[in-house]
Amino acid sequence: MSAALAAILLLQAAAPARAPATTTDLPAWSKAPTVAEANAVYQPDAMKANLAGAATVECTVDATGQLADCAVVGESPPGSGFGAAALALSPKFQMPLKSPSGASMVGRTVRFPIRWRNAAKRQLPPVIVNGDTPASGSVVFDCRVKEDHGFDNCVMVDARPPSTNLFAPAGEAALRQKAPANAAPGSRMMVVIQMKGN
C-alpha cells in the first residue's frame, strides 16, 4: 500500500462522524430564506413544467448558528435538481444557539425538508371515499394536471387528523381523479380526499 493511500485511509478513519439528527427540542429558525430567495433557486426546468418537489438536508449547527457541512439525504422526485437547490438555499437558514430547553445547539445535527411548489389556483369538489380504511379523515393534495386530465406530482398540503395513516390510500384516490375538461394541462389543482372509515 502506498504511503499516500495509507494517509488518506487514516484521515478518513479519523474524521469524526456526524452526530445523529436532532428531532426533539428544536428551536424555530432565527433566520430563514424568503420566498424570493427560494424561487431564485427553483430549478428552471421544474418551474417551467410546474413540477413540485422537495429535498431533505442534514447539516451541523456551527458556533454562530449557521448551517455547516450540509448534505442532501433525500430528493423527490429523484434526479429533479431539488437537492442541489436545497444545498444552495441552506446558507440562508440560521438556528438559535440555544434550544427551547436551554441546551446548546452548537454541534448538533439538524435534518429538515425544503419544498417547492406553485400554489394551485383551483380546487376540485371534495371526493368522498367510503370503507377503504378503518379510520376517517381528510387529506388535501396540490396536484398537477396531465394531458389526459388525470393528475400527477401530487403534494400533500394538509391532513386531518394531522398524524393520520390515511396518506397512502388518499394519495391513490387523488391519482384516480380527473380534472375538469377546461383545466389546462400543467396547471395545478387542489384535490381534497375525505376518507370515511368502515
Q: What is the pLDDT of residues 113-141, one digit of tens each?
A: 999 998 899 999 999 988 666 778 899 99
Q: What is the mean pLDDT of the chain?
A: 87
- If you average pLDDT over residues 153-167, what whole number do you get? 85
- If you average pLDDT over residues 90-117, what whole number do you get? 95
131-141 b/e (C-beta count within 10 Å ≥ 16 → b): eebeeebbbbb
Strands (E), the chain: 21-22, 53-61, 67-76, 109-116, 122-123, 127-130, 137-145, 151-160, 188-196
Asked if residue 185 lies in contact with residue 147, where contact means CB atoms within 8 angstroms, the answer is yes
Q: Which amino acid is at 84?
A: A
Q: Is the pLDDT of residue 11 over 70?
A: no
- The grid coordinates listed for 156 are 400533500
